[in-house]
Amino acid sequence: MPDEMSRALIRERAGGLRHLEASAYEPSALVIGILGTGDFSRSLARRLVACGCRVVVGSQTPSRSVDLFPEEAEVASQMEAANQADLVFVAVYPEHYSTLVHLKPALAGKALVDVSNGLQIKQEGPSNAQQLADLFPESSVVKGFNTTSAWTLQAGPRDGSRQVLLCSDDQMAKSSVMQLCRRMGFIPVDMGLLSSSLEIENLPLYLFPSWRTPIICTLALFIFFYLYNSVHEVLHPYITGGKNKLYKLPIEIVNVTFPSVALVMLALVYLPGVIAAFLQLWRGTKYTRFPDWLDHWLTRRKQFGLCSFLCAALHAVYSLCLPMRKSARFQLLNKAFEQVKAGNADSWVEADVWRMELYLSVGIMALGLLSLLAVTSLPSVANTVNWREFTFIQSTLGYCALFMGTLHTLIFGWNRAFLAAQYHFGLPPTFLLVLILPLTVLLSRLALFLPCMNHRLRQIRRGWEKSRHIRFTLSSEDCFNGLENVSNV
C-alpha cells in the first residue's frame, strides 16, 4: 500500500493552505502564528508552547515585545509571522482589523482564528468574525476561543472551562482548529457556520442571564419581609409604648428575614413542577406546550434553589452571631437581675426548652439537606451520579428539605398564631405569611399521590391522551418510585 503521507494532499495556493489537511495527521508540522501582543496573546503563546507547538508572534515592535513571551516563541514582524504561519490567531481588537490589510497576500488561503469580543450585545450582524472574513476573502476565518479567558489559557483547562465554541464556513480549517483545541486540552464544540459567530460573540457579554429572575425574586422578597418585620418589631413598639428598638435593624430583623426568604424561595423551586403536573392532568396530554412563563420558571429552578441555600446559610451565620451582641448580653443580665429581685431562682420552663431543642434540631436537618441539594447541583458532582440518583436527591430529598424547613417555621411559631398580642396593627405574624406557599406546595404534592391522580399522571407521561382515547395498562414496574415519576415533568 503506498504511503499516504508521501503525496501532496492539497496544492499550495497563494501562500495557501499548505499544511492544514496534512496537520490532521501531523499536528506538530503546523506553525502557529499570533498577531497581537496583548494579555490574551501572551497567554495563548504560553499554552501553545507548553503543548509543543511552534509559535511565531507578529508584532509591530518586535524588539519591545520579545521579553513578554516565552523563549520558545519567536517574536517577529507581522509580515514575517504571516508568511511563516500555517494557522493564524488574530488577537487584535476589531477596530484595528484594518491595520492588517497589508498582510492580505501573506494570509491568503490560510486559516484565521478570530478571538475577539464586542463591547456590547448585538442583535444584528455583522459579527467581528464576519467583518474579518470580508476583509480577507481569500482566507478561511474560524471563530473561537473568545469565551476562553487569558487566565484559563495560562492555568490550563479545568472542569468548568474546557469547552471552546467554534464556527466557520470552511470545514477543513475548522477541523484543524478543533484538533489544535484537543491538543491544548480543551473540548471543541462545533457551532456550525460562521453565521453563528454573532451568538458566540454575545455569550461572554451576558450578565447572569439565567439568574436575573431568581435574583430579582430574592431581593423583592427580602425587601418585603424586612419592611414587614421592621413594622412588627421596631415601629409597633415605638408607636404603642415609645420604646426605641432601632438596634434590631442590623442583626435581628435581618436574621428573621433571611429564613423567610429561604423557605419561600425553596417552595418556588417545587411549585412549578406541581403546577405543570396539574396542568397535564387538566389537559389530559403531555404534548401541549406549557405557557412561556412556566417554561421559563421550570428552567430556573436550580438558580431559585441556590438563592434559597444562600439565604439559609446566612441565617445560620447570623444566628450563631446573636449571642455575641452587647444587646443580647444586656438583656440576659437584666432578666437574671429581675429573677433574683423577684426571688425566683428557678427559670426552667419545660415547654420552652423542648420548643427550642426541636426548633434547632429540625433547622439543622433542613440546612443539611439544602446543602446536599446545592452541592449535587454542581456539574462536577452531578456528573458522578446517574439520573435516578440525581432525581432522588433533587426531588425526594428536596421535598424533605422543604418539609423540614416548614416544620422549623411551625415550631418557631408554636402557639403564637393564637395570641392576639402577636397581631401588631392587625397584621399577622411573619411566619404565618411565610407558611402559605410551602404548605400549598406540600399539600398539592400529597394530592398528586392519591391513586386516582398518580395513576392518571403516569399514564399521561407515558403517552396517554384524553382526546385520542389511547388506552393501555401500566406494568407494576412503573410504580417503583412515585416521587420520581411525579417530579419529572
* Positive or negative torsion for Cα 430, 432, 438, 441: negative
pLDDT at res. 118: 86
CB 398 within 8 A of CB 373: yes
Give the integer Cα–Cα distance in Å for 329 and 331: 5
pLDDT at 330: 79
What distances in angstroms separate CA 26 from CA 135, 166, 176, 287, 485, one per listed residue? 30, 21, 11, 50, 51
Residue 475 confidence (pLDDT):
55
Q: Which of 187, 145, 183, 190 is nearest to 169 (CA)?
A: 190
pLDDT of residue 317: 95
Give 280-293 pLDDT, tens digit per residue.
Answer: 999 999 988 999 99
CA angle 45, 5, 90 (to 5 degrees): 25
pTM score: 0.76
Spell out, as residue ranges, where the chain has pLDDT lower than 50. 1-27, 478-489
Enter the C-alpha cell of residue 175.
Answer: 477541523
In this structure, what is the dihedral angle of CA atoms 281, 283, 287, 293, given to the nearest 10 degrees? -90
**CA distances from residue 154 to 37, 47, 52, 54, 59 in whole angstroms, order as listed:** 15, 6, 15, 17, 20
Please give the pLDDT value at position 158.
Answer: 63
pLDDT of residue 482: 42
Cβ(261)–Cβ(215) below 8 Å: no
| CB count in 10 Å sphere of residue 191 | 18
| Nearest alpha carbon to residue 288 among 468, 43, 75 | 468
Measured CA to CA, the distance from residue 141 to residue 337 in angstroms comes to: 81
pLDDT at 296: 94
